[in-house]
Amino acid sequence: MNGSVEPERTFAALPPAQGRGFASSWWGRAWLKALEDTALDGVQLKKGRRLAREGLVGAVSVRPGRLTAVVQDRDSAAYRSDVLLQELGEAEWDRFLDMASERSGHIAALLDREMPPHLVEDAAEAGVELLPGIGDLEPECSCEAWDHCPHSAALCYQVARLLDQDPFVLLLLRGRDERRLIDELQARSTAHAAGASPAEETRTRSTRGVRADVAFAARDILPPLPPPPPLPTGPGVPPALDAEAEPLAGVDPAALEFLAADSAVRAFAMLTDALSAGHEQRSPTPGLTPDQDAVRMAAEGTPDALLTARLAAATGRRPAALDAAVRAWHYGGSAALAVYDEEWLPEPEDLARARAGIAAAWEEGEAPRFSAVNNRWSAAGSGTQLRYGRDGRWWPYAKERGRWVPAGPADSDPAAALAGVRPGA
């Protein structure tokens, strides 16, 4: 190791394993699958699994190429057991580091001291096998068995539990400790970025996620998804910010408290929706524009007069216009707000459909006399108006203080939409 002390890590003995599964992480399960797929003697493997499950494996020493532990038999006899695994050569480490430094997802994960599951497949494509294959795990045990014995098998099973705690154990066993690996990856990544063309940098930054074939191939060793969390009884209560100290210049504690309370309510609504039946079948809700979100906050929160004025300024509306926009939000959210804000000319087929709807909504001679301007149909002499939405629904409006304001929810029947609307109410 270039004259330096060989890296080694020692893990304290683990308590007996509980439950049916022996490992819970992707890497622990991957190690077990490789071990069990390549085992030549299933009987010894089964006995070793029992010893490991009963907590009879002592402290485990991990260093490049070797695992060591003292393992007890069920009759309390103790044996030193070693398992050897070939270290990766310098050329293999070069290929591994080149592969990792060319994939932004691997760089980010490894620098955060995480091991992404698809690292195994990507390393294999680069000609580097991280997990052991048939005959790769070579046993040495003081019980003098010529092949894998229950003690070496128990040590291998215990390593699966260690990989649950720290998947870098496998890379140390293959010849690189975590610190050296991170340092080499950082140096390789920096050099790679410095010499990359703009197109290459763009390609690297756009590399995200896991290929579908890799995810599908890992289905047998991935743990099941955990059950969804229980739904809280309501939104969390944000902390009060009315401290005795004066706030910094430009910081408005009341505004921060309002935003924190709004965020808690929104998070609770999103969680409620995510845990509801059929959520996975519904299309994602479109995001709101800053203007729409300001109206939503004014409609769903309880801003004081100062905050209301700031929200109005943020939307470019006067207070009366914000009040009308808030009414629209109450009646139909972003769809109603779009109808309030937008005047549009229906296409000829939409216009014909709208006229047919008006004609069919009232008995002959009972329909109000409408004058239409674009998608807005004002009833003469009544102070009421219908606005035709792009989705074919009608939204009622009433005139108040010379302004048209939302007066009710939408309806596909224009007569039903206007029913009960009282101008000036």
Pairing status of strand 60-63 against strand 384-388:
unpaired
Structure tokens at 324: 């009308």
User: 3-state class of 305 per DSSP?
Assistant: helix
pLDDT of residue 380: 87
Sole residue written with tokens 């760089």: 107
pLDDT of residue 205: 42
The Cα 185–Cα 420 span in angstroms is: 70
Pairing status of strand 403-406 against strand 138-141:
unpaired
Model confidence at 207: pLDDT above 50:
no
The β-bridge partners of 81 are 69, 141
The β-bridge partners of 387 are 376, 395
- The verdict on pTM exceeding 0.75 is no
Determine the length of the chain: 425
The Cα 410–Cα 392 span in angstroms is: 10
Model confidence at 159: pLDDT above 90:
yes
Pick the more confident residue, 224 or 304.
304
pLDDT digits (tens, 9 = 90+) for 175-189: 988 888 888 887 777
Question: CA 67: distance to chain centroid?
Answer: 36
The answer to whether the CB of 65 falls within 8 A of the CB of 172 is no
pLDDT of residue 215: 63
Q: What mean pLDDT is predicted for residues 27-49?
A: 83
The answer to whether the CB of 409 falls within 8 A of the CB of 423 is no
Q: CB under 8 Å to 24, separation ≥6 — which residues?
A: 164, 223
User: What DSSP assignment string belongs to 226-276?
Assistant: PPPPPPPSSPPPPPP---SSPPPTT--HHHHHHHHHHHHHHHHHHHHHHTS
Model confidence at 407: pLDDT above 90:
yes
Q: What mean pLDDT is predicted for residues 295-321?
A: 88
The mean of the pLDDT values for the chain is 84
Radius of gyration of the chain (CA): 34
User: 235-244, 256-265, 385-394 — which is least confidently predicted?
Assistant: 235-244
Model confidence at 109: pLDDT above 70:
yes
Model confidence at 279: pLDDT above 90:
no
The Cα 90–Cα 132 span in angstroms is: 18
Distances (CA, A) of 274 to 226, 268, 285, 346: 15, 10, 12, 36
Query: What is the rounded (10 degree) CA torsion for 265, 268, 269, 275?
Result: 180
User: 29-33, 202-206, 212-216 — which is least confidently predicted?
Assistant: 202-206
> Predicted confidence band at 203 (pLDDT cuts at 50, 70, 90)?
very low
The Cα 403–Cα 425 span in angstroms is: 13
**Residues 158, 163, 165, CA angle at the centre, nearest 5°?**
105
> Predicted confidence band at 167 (pLDDT cuts at 50, 70, 90)?
confident
User: 3-state class of 78 per DSSP?
Assistant: strand
The β-bridge partners of 140 are 82
| Range ranked top by mean pLDDT from 96-105, 141-150, 232-241, 393-402 | 393-402
The answer to whether the CB of 75 falls within 8 A of the CB of 62 is no
Model confidence at 218: pLDDT above 70:
no
The β-bridge partners of 69 are 81
pLDDT of residue 220: 64
The answer to whether the CB of 159 falls within 8 A of the CB of 23 is no
Query: What is the rounded (10 degree) CA torsion for 379, 382, 388, 392?
Result: -90
The Cα 19–Cα 138 span in angstroms is: 29
The Cα 134–Cα 97 span in angstroms is: 25
pLDDT of residue 389: 92
> Predicted confidence band at 2 (pLDDT cuts at 50, 70, 90)?
very low
Q: What mean pLDDT is predicted for residues 31-49?
A: 82
The β-bridge partners of 67 are 62, 83
The Cα 13–Cα 55 span in angstroms is: 8
User: 28-42, 55-69, 369-383 — which is least confidently predicted?
Assistant: 28-42
Q: CA nearest 157: which of 9, 65, 39, 10?
A: 39
pLDDT digits (tens, 9 = 90+) for 329-351: 999 999 999 999 999 999 999 88
Structure tokens at 388: 């035709």
Distances (CA, A) of 325 to 104, 151, 305, 333, 404: 44, 74, 16, 10, 11
Model confidence at 219: pLDDT above 90:
no
